[in-house]
Each structure stands twice: as structure tokens, then as C-alpha cells.
């Protein structure tokens, strides 16, 4: 394949590293307003609180809820396997090291769009704040 890096021009795919689906949204992406917000996470009440290993201060670690864990489970493990156009993350590791959002047809390998991942992500941040 040939990938047109937004900064370096068209290069062979051996210069790039593949990561995967660029449509996934990391849950709990917002770190606003302060780091202390994490401590207000509700303690999971449905499952018994697991004992902390001895000698550790894990007791004060905020507990994730089941719903939260499920959301994260999907984000980390679940992947669609589309036959057709797919937005995916590639990094130009052998070049400028920019992460790119590449829209590629998984059947034909036709690439229809390549955008800097940073720009895509920033427009998302702007949209969220707007």
C-alpha cells in the first residue's frame, strides 16, 4: 500500500505502523475540572469490595462501577470488523511520527482520506466544548 502522509507525502506502508479503529471513543475522556474529581467516583455496591493485598494502600483507590468497567471493556476489547470503508489510526513511525486517521476500504484497500489525528481529535474537543 501507499499512504500519503499529511506531512511527508506518499510513502510505502512499511514506514507506517497500524493501530486500528479510529472511531472508538475513550470513555471518561474528560479530565475536567480537577484531578480530584476521580475521588468522587461512586463505589461499586453490587459486587463485594475485594480485599486489598497486605501492605498496600489500595483501600483508598476509587472503585470503578460495573457500568464503567463494561464501557471500558468494550473500548479496549470490542472491535467491529467492517467490510468496506474504515477509519483507522496509523502512525508514520518511519517518518514524522504523526498519528494519522486513514479512511481505507478494507475490501479494496482504497484510501479515500488521510487526516492528521491531532486535527481530528482537536475538532472533536472543540465540538465538545462548543
Q: Residues in the site for another protein, rule: CB under 8 A? A: 1-2, 12, 17, 19, 26-29, 31, 35-39, 47, 50-58, 60-64, 68-69, 72-73, 75-77, 89, 91, 93, 97-99, 108-111, 116-119, 121-122, 125
CB of 46 to another protein, least distance (A): 10
Q: Which residue has the cell 475513550?
A: 26
Nearer to another protein by Cβ, of 2 and 80: the residue is: 2
Exposed (0-12), middle (13-18) or buried (19+): which is 100, by Cβ within 10 Å?
buried
**Contact status, residue 17 vs residue 91, Cβ threshold 8 Å:** yes
CB of 7 to another protein, least distance (A): 12
Amino acid at each position: 500500500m501507499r499512504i500519503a502522509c499529511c506531512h511527508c507525502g506518499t510513502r510505502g506502508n512499511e514506514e507506517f505502523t497500524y493501530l486500528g479503529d479510529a472511531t472508538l471513543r475513550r470513555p471518561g475522556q474528560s479530565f475536567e475540572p480537577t484531578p480530584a474529581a476521580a475521588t468522587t467516583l461512586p463505589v461499586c455496591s453490587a459486587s463485594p469490595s475485594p480485599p486489598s493485598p497486605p501492605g498496600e494502600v489500595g483501600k483508598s483507590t476509587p472503585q470503578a462501577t460495573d457500568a464503567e468497567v463494561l464501557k471500558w471493556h468494550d473500548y479496549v476489547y470490542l472491535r467491529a470488523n467492517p467490510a468496506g470503508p474504515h477509519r483507522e489510526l496509523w502512525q508514520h513511525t518511519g517518518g514524522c511520527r504523526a498519528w494519522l486517521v486513514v479512511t481505507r476500504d478494507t475490501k479494496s484497500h482504497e484510501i479515500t482520506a488521510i487526516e492528521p489525528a491531532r486535527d481530528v481529535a482537536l475538532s472533536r474537543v472543540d465540538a465538545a466544548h462548543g
